[in-house]
Structures are given as C-alpha cells and as structure tokens.
Amino acid sequence: MEIQGRENFREAFVRFAVERQALRFGEFVTKAGRKSPYFFNAGLFHDGDSLARFSQFYAQALLASGLSFDMLFGPAYKGIPLVSALAVALSARGLCLPFAYNRKEEKDHGEKGALIGAPIAGRTLIVDDVISAGTSVRESVELITAAGGIPAGVLIALDRRERGAGMASAVEEVEQRYNIPVIAVATLDHLINFLAEGSDPKLASCLEAVSAYRARYGTSQSA
C-alpha cells in the first residue's frame, strides 16, 4: 500500500489512526501526570486488516529513512505483533529479514532464555509503538548487546515531541543516550497538520487544544 496524491503517508497514517480510533481526542492523563488532549494506543489496531495497514506505514517510514540494519527486534509485549507484521510487510516489498522478540519472564525449560526467534546478530532495529519513559528501549538495548548484536535504531508510530523531565523529549533522550536514531511514522506536527486541514468537522475544536498543549509542553523540534 503506497499513499498517493497530495497527502503524504505520514499524515495519511494520522488519518488512518483516527478512523480506527487508535488516536483519540478528549482529556487523558499521561504517565507524567499531564492532561493531554489526545492519546495514541497501537493496541487498538487489533484486527487483521488494521494491523496489515499499520505495518505498511511502518515499512514506508523505515525505508524512507535510509537506515542500514540487518534484523528486527520487538520488545514484549506490544512490540511482538508489530515486529512480526513489519517483517511480513517488508518481505512483500522484497526485503526478507530475520526477527526476534523477548518474553518478560525467562523460561527454564524447553528452549529456555528470554529471547525467541532468529539469533540476534548484526545491526538490530527495535520496533515499538511509542517511547514514553524509554524503559522498553533500555531493556531492548541491553538484551541486544548481551546477545552480541548492535542496536541500530528504534522505529515507532508516533513521536509526541513533548518534553520529559528536562528540555529534551523522551525520543531525544534515547537518541542522545544510546547514539541511535529514532524513526517515527508521524509526529505531533503531522497530527496538527491533519487537524488544521479541517477535513473532519467533528475535530475542529481539537486543534486549539492540541496547539495549546504543544505550546506548553513541546520541545524545540515542535516549536
């Protein structure tokens, strides 16, 4: 699925997420205790069609980045269906890659250990939905490094471009701490562009709230 026409695939992804109600508007409390006017939950792409389309957006963003990598890794739990679907989407584009994921609790029987799938080797891309506190990335980097791989970057769906404890966002902190790029299918800017279009009258009042939230909590990237 390639997005054609005037709308680029990033803003098309925002539209798709809104249509599937994975991206919602209202009043939500974030992990940081902030009242956010929007909320994204990739777990709501919970049927075959929506997951297939979601994975195509991931594939487009990844290939557009030009990042060099050898395999994929999905952190438990949300990263497991995402990395599996992305591997299938990339294969359909002629790029067949190995992938692995972890379990939260190590098994002491059967295949044992915390890792499942292909052996970790080479430049390994982490596939997740969002970065909040960066805990999932830290755990993934530790697992990949311990297995002999090299973390190559992180692929996520939405970058909120929102300050953490300091002036940098969670995404910027990950990039600085591990010296790896974070690739997002869409950012807060694409979300605001979608709302500014006014194509959905029901969402017209949301633009002011999201813009005000960005002005209060946004990073220099989203200024």
107 is catalytic: yes
Q: Can you say how many angstroms the Cα of residue 111 is from the centroid of all Cα atoms in its chain?
A: 29
**Choice among 31, 35, 104, 107 that is catalytic:** 107
The strand ranges marked E within the chain are 23-29, 35-40, 71-74, 99-107, 113-117, 123-127, 150-159, 182-187
Length of the chain as a residue count: 223
46 is catalytic: no
Pairing mode, if any, of strands 23-29 and 35-40?
Answer: antiparallel
Q: Is 75 within 8 Å of 126 (Cβ atoms)?
A: yes
Return the H-helix or E-strand segment holding 212. Answer: helix 206-217
Residues 6 or more apart from 8 whose CB is under 8 A from it? none
| Distinct helix (H) and strand (E) counts, the chain | 7, 8
Q: Name the nearest CA neighbour of 140 among 73, 62, 58.
A: 73
**Choice among 31, 104, 109, 112 that is catalytic:** 109
List residues with catalytic annotation: 107, 109
